[in-house]
Amino acid sequence: MIYSELKPFEEILKSLKEKSVFFILCSGCAEVVRVSDDKSVEEIENKLKENQKVITGKIKIDFLCSKNLIARKLSRHIDKLSKSSSILVFSCGIGVQCVSKIVDIPAYPATNTIYFGGFQGLWPGEERCDECGTCYLGITGGICPITFCTKQLINGPCGGTNKGKCEIDPNKDCGWVLIYEKLKNIEKLEILKDYKEPRNYKLIEVSSKLRKKIFYDIDKNEEF
């Protein structure tokens, strides 16, 4: 089960520079802890409309960590997607990464992933989420700097990138070169210029209260 919390609305609004937004919700493990329950999603929808955004559509996909599934489901919404200049994703960090890989429309996380407790989703790809609690995927073209950069850098690459590869392994792609290429592709390179404050490591310590709550939720759900 995955525990995420919604990013503050101001942060979501700040990241969404585009006019039109398509919502993608994961109803896999994320739903169990009601991250993307209908009420909070609706609230965000309304607030975005109040801020002159156009919501082009909203779909739920069982497991956003499955890229095949995303491609299949999204293919039925090509019309709406083609009218969307951004996507807001309600899922764990892996879901956002998978959506970004499938679609060349800027995808932004609506949540911070805090804790993967117990059973996790299908997760068949190379994407990883570090449960950092500060999802950076909205500013990195959906490629995670925490799991793809060996030094977990958040302000751009180190000087060690050699021919697009990481200094520690000539066969490992440099995460920041991947981020650069993706952002260039979706014409969002200017995002790279924003300074990112040092990461808050307090967030990786999950409270025992939260741990209990998650296991309680699993037990409760298994009774049904």
Partner 1 sequence: MEISNLQKKLNEGKFVITSEIGPGKGTNLEFLKEAEIIKDKVDAINVTDLQSSVMRLGSLCVCHLLIDMGIEPIFQITCRDRNRLALQSDLLSAYVLGIRNVLCLTGDHPILGDHPEAKPVFDLDSVSLLKVASMLMEGKDMKGNALDGKVEFFLGAVVSPCYEPIDLQIIKMEKKIEQGARFFQTQAIYDLKKFEEFMKRVEKYKVPVLGGIVLLKSAGMAKYMNENVAGVSVPDRYIEMMAKAKKEEKVKVSLEIGAELIKGMKDMCNGIHIMPLGWDKYVPDLLYLSGLI
- Catalog residues that contact partner 1 under the rule CB under 8 A: 150-164, 167-168, 176-177, 180, 184, 189, 192-193, 195-199, 201
Minimum CB distance to partner 1, residue 112 (Å): 19
Task: Choose between 195 and 224: whose C-beta lies nearer to partner 1.
Answer: 195
Helix axes 67-75, 93-102, angle to 10 degrees: 60
E strands present in the chain: 2-6, 20-26, 54-61, 86-90, 107-109, 111-116, 165-166, 169-173
Task: Choose between 80 and 151: whose C-beta lies nearer to partner 1.
Answer: 151
Q: Which residue has the tokens 């991250």?
A: 35
Minimum CB distance to partner 1, residue 187 (Å): 13
Minimum CB distance to partner 1, residue 137 (Å): 18
What distance in Å separates the CA atoms of residue 126 and residue 138, rounded to the nearest whole number?
Answer: 19
Task: Choose between 126 and 159: whose C-beta lies nearer to partner 1.
Answer: 159
User: Residue 108 in contact with residue 137, Cβ under 8 Å?
Assistant: yes
Task: Choose between 123 and 176: whose C-beta lies nearer to partner 1.
Answer: 176
Minimum CB distance to partner 1, residue 222 (Å): 38
Give the other-Cβ count within 10 Å of 189's Cβ.
Answer: 13
